[in-house]
């Protein structure tokens, strides 16, 4: 299985901050990576696919980058609605599909 | 737009079979892959498996011996059965759609991330 490791597990930030979350894969997954946002009691919401493609309707302050084994999700200016948990997911050709452990973005 | 809704018992006894259905509305189940994902209380996401509308499946090896996913295109539904459940199977269960794009040059292209999710249903395993 491809292991996905996210860091940090928790992040404290203020409105307006630039926030970066890292996701590392245990082997190369090219650009086959997605990012999701999950709020308490809600289903995950797709933000980014193919490492850097923004899903329709997602604010442009969200961006993704990386390839191979190291990826980042950046929020350019944190908004009150962005406090949530973020997950990465690899969808390389090898199964199973796997998720990172999550990064909780908290209010500082 | 496409919406997904999970349904099924919220309480299942240990050793019994968990059965859930996902109803697809606002679009056809055809031409897509459909998936089940679960999330134990306070924990992360775990992929269970997916099914193509034609019926072909792939499961997480960690659950493969206990999982069956099926599809009923006439009802625009797909289902999950998980046998011999224990307390470790207590979780929120989500159904989701995997996207497909058509390209004039390469044809149908399938991608194995989830672009549409149901709201989730909580299943507790307890006697």
pLDDT given at position A93 = 79
How confident is the model over B46-64, as pLDDT tens digits? 999 999 999 999 999 999 9
Instruction: Annotate A33-95 with DSSP letters as a single string.
Output: EEEEEE-TTS--EEEEETTTEEPTT--TTEEEEEETTEEEEEESS--GGG-SEEEEEE--SSS
Mean pLDDT of B7-25: 98
Q: Do A34 and B113 count as a contact with CB atoms less than 8 A apart?
A: yes
Q: How many CB atoms within 10 Å of residue A97?
A: 28
Minimum-distance CB partner of A43 among B58, B60, B118: B118
Average pLDDT per 10 consecutive residues for chain A, totaling 108 residues = 97 97 97 97 98 97 98 97 97 92 95
CA distance B93 to B120: 5
Residues whose CB is less than 8 angstroms from the CB of residue A94 and which lie 6 or more positions away in sequence, other chains included: A2
> Residue A63 class from Cβ within 10 Å (0-12 exposed, 13-18 middle, 19+ buried)?
middle
With bands split at pLDDT 50, 70 and 90, how would you rate the model's confidence at B43? very high
With bands split at pLDDT 50, 70 and 90, how would you rate the model's confidence at B34? very high
Minimum-distance CB partner of A89 among B62, B113, B118: B113
Q: In this complex, is the C-beta atom of B42 within 8 Å of any C-beta atom belonging to chain A?
A: no
The 8-class DSSP code of residue B89 comes to: G
Residues of B in contact with A101 (CB under 8 A): 44
Q: In this complex, is the C-beta atom of B122 within 8 Å of any C-beta atom belonging to chain A?
A: no
| Percentage above 70 pLDDT, chain B | 100
pLDDT given at position B103 = 85
Residues facing residue B79 across a β-bridge: B21, B70
With bands split at pLDDT 50, 70 and 90, how would you rate the model's confidence at B93? very high
CA distance B121 to B62: 21
Q: In this complex, is the C-beta atom of A101 within 8 Å of any C-beta atom belonging to chain B?
A: yes
Of A36, A49, A46, A28, residue with least CA distance to A103:
A36
pLDDT given at position B94 = 98
Mean pLDDT of B74-80: 97
């Amino acid at each position: 299985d491809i292991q996905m490791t996210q860091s940090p597990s928790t992040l404290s930030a203020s409105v307006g901050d630039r926030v970066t979350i890292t996701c590392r894969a245990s082997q190369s997954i090219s650009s086959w990576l997605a990012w999701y946002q999950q709020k308490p009691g809600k289903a995950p919401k797709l933000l980014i696919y193919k490492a850097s493609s923004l899903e329709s309707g997602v604010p442009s302050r969200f961006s993704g980058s990386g390839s191979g084994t190291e990826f980042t999700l950046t929020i350019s200016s944190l908004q009150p609605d962005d406090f949530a948990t973020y997950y990465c997911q690899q969808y390389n050709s090898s199964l199973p599909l796997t998720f990172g452990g999550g990064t909780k973005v908290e209010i500082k | 737009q496409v919406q997904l809704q999970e349904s099924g018992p919220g309480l299942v006894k240990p050793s019994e079979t968990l059965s859930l259905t996902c109803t697809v509305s606002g679009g056809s189940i055809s031409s897509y892959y459909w998936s089940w994902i679960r999330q134990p209380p306070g924990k992360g996401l775990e992929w269970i498996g997916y099914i193509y509308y034609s019926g072909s499946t792939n499961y997480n090896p960690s659950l493969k011996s206990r999982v069956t996913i099926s599809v009923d295109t006439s009802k625009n539904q797909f289902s999950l059965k998980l046998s011999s459940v224990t307390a470790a199977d207590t979780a929120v269960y989500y159904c989701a759609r995997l996207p497909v794009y058509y390209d004039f040059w390469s044809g149908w292209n399938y991608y194995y991330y989830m672009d549409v999710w149901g709201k989730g249903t909580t299943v507790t395993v307890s006697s």
